[in-house]
Amino acid sequence: MIAPLDWGLGHTTRCIPLAQTFIQAGCEVCFAGNAIQQELFREFFPHHRYFDLKGYAIQYSKSALALPFKMLIQIPKILWAIKAERKWLEELNRTEHFDAIISDNRYGLHLNHTPCVILTHQTEIRVPGSGLLQKMLNFWNRQFLNRFREVWIPDDENRSLSGDLSRHSLRNVRYLGNLSRLDNQMIRRFKLNVLFMLSGPEPQRSLFEKEILGLDLNGLEIVLLRGCPAAKTSITRKGWKIYPHLPYDQLSEHVKNADLIVCRSGYSTIMDLFKLGKRALLVPTPGQTCEWNRIRGQYQFIHVFQDSGPAKRKITYLFAGKRRWFFVIRIS
């Protein structure tokens, strides 16, 4: 059984190539998650079994400064969810008798007498400006991770995308390399100047969407992917094509054809961009220090912070010879 965390869509999408590997090896794979996660999996695995598993339902704050406090008050809810999913798994295993469990960042999905592994790129938690809190969180993090048979890191040990976040002193660690569901083959070509890809928990996803829709980008071919698989309606606004979600093959085409990609710096997004060899403008979620630590020093990407208040970001195209990455960010 494969069961990813519901903290954004990336935990689910990076489990797809992992599941494909096990299926190709002859394993019977089933999945656990909420309705949105199951819908993503069914794009690839329509005939497999699914189990309903509640998520952590983490909410972000509207401002970066309030995020640490917002996360702090949700710790009891997270601990309760970890305890509840452990009980859920024990009860389910009495009838299913799983041979192995793969948990993507769900700390409660482990059993005493069944091989259980946890998939994570964040073995080291960073909390800038609070050394004591960082030590406490990393102590708890190691305690949870060490309950699993192995820790699988979706990264390359020698050419790391996750940076300091995957440094560790853990036992039984295995590096899996890049886990991206996207296809690197170009199927069809079309003109696409800017591709906006939204993702991540609310309310920051919606706030980022509102800011993007306020940009004045006339005369460009623009596609906005809202990151809402549950929504079904595609619309055209200001000449932009706006999709709630795209199947992986169409998403691969749009990423490959885009001259400029503007997106969050979630780790699964970075793995997708790296696999397809795309440069991008990354906008870390306000207050998400792990996203900033992840992209700092990554040579393929340029970052800009999403400021609060009335500041507007305007994207200006600057053609720079034949190098095909030609953008600056002006804050006014």
pLDDT, tens only, 58-111:
776 666 666 667 767 778 888 899 999 999 999 999 999 999 999 999 999 999
Burial of residue 162 (CB within 10 Å: 0-12, 13-18, 19+) is buried
More confident position, 33 or 276 = 33
User: Model pTM?
Assistant: 0.79
* pLDDT tens per residue across span 164-212: 677 777 778 899 988 988 877 766 788 888 899 888 777 778 888 888 8
pLDDT at residue 24 is higher than 90: yes
Domains of the chain (ranges plus CATH)? 2-175 (3.40.50), 192-331 (3.40.50)
Q: State the amino acid at position 198 in one-letter form.
A: L
Instruction: List pLDDT tens digits, range 227-239.
Output: 887 777 777 777 8
What local confidence, expressed as pLDDT, does residue 114 receive? Answer: 94
Span of 34-38, 90-94, 155-159, 247-251 with lowest mean pLDDT? 155-159
Tokens of 22: 């096990």
CB atoms within 10 A of CB 71: 15
Say if strands 222-225 and 240-243 run parallel, antiparallel, or are unpaired. parallel
Q: What pLDDT score was predicted for residue 115?
A: 95
| 3-state SS assignment for residue 36 | helix
Paired tokens of 12: 């689910």
Integer-rounded Cα Rg, in Å, for the chain is 20
